[in-house]
Amino acid sequence: MVMLVLDVFQPGQLKTLLHEIHEMGIRLNQKPPDVTVNRANKGGVSITTTLKLTKLTPATVKGIMEAFGVSNGSIVIRDDISDDQLIDVLSGSRKYAPSVLVLNKVDLVNKQYLDAVKKEIGDDFVPIAAEKNANMDQLVNKIWSTLDFIRIYLKRPDGEPDFVKPLILPAGSSLYDVCKRIHPRFTEGAKYAYVSGRSVKFAGQRVGLDHMPADEDIVTIMR
């Protein structure tokens, strides 16, 4: 995740930050285009699309591919991409990340000034006053939701759940991933698990290691 921190008195710096990050090859709040490129030794360029392209023509796709040294091979395009997105795919060096915009020193301005700033940078930001530790909880919550983490409370078969130190994992992780986070070799003896929480129908439900827990589930791994 990229956190962009602006001084409330310099909102215009956002354009500079975004430009510099883009030039570094980082694409904020975007998903990698669903494009597959396979190179070949002969046969020319074969273009397959699964939807109508409104921003590119086959000739443009072929020309960009040849500019990147792909004169033989195939490309499958599953998104309505632009020429810049195709260049990003062929370059192979782009990074994609979510971002959070933070506006600092908001305690030093009035509502009228803040409304003017919103017209320049939008209203999707977290207002804070770092020196006074104001709104830091809001910032923490924004970071948490942006990173899309979940908390797993581990419970030994003969003990109580550990609500003090949850295991932190990306949403969409499986119990197999939970085992690997406990220890790389923990998966060798793990067989199934008992889960209580929103991801199961009833408390203490037995599930396989391919089960995907929800935030704040209680998990007991059985070996």
What tens-digit pLDDT sequence spans the chain (223 residues)?
999 999 999 999 999 999 999 999 999 999 999 999 999 998 899 999 999 999 999 999 999 999 999 999 999 999 999 999 999 999 999 999 999 999 999 999 999 999 999 999 999 999 999 999 999 999 999 999 999 999 999 999 999 999 999 999 999 999 999 999 988 888 888 999 999 999 999 999 999 999 999 999 999 999 8
| Tokens, residue 140 | 């923490």
| 152 CB-contact burial (10 Å; exposed 0-12 / middle 13-18 / buried 19+) | buried
Q: What is the set of domains in the chain, with CATH numbers? A: 2-26+97-147 (3.40.50.300), 33-93 (no CATH), 149-222 (3.10.20.30)
Q: Which residue, 221, 216, 150, 211, is CA-closest to 183?
A: 221
- pTM over the 0.75 mark: yes
Task: Give, for 195, the enclosing helix (H) or strand (E).
Answer: strand 192-196
pLDDT score for 81: 96
pLDDT score for 116: 95
| 197 vs 150: CA distance, rounded Å | 12
Residue 9 has phi, psi (to 5 degrees) of -90, 0
CB atoms within 10 A of CB 14: 18
pLDDT score for 78: 96
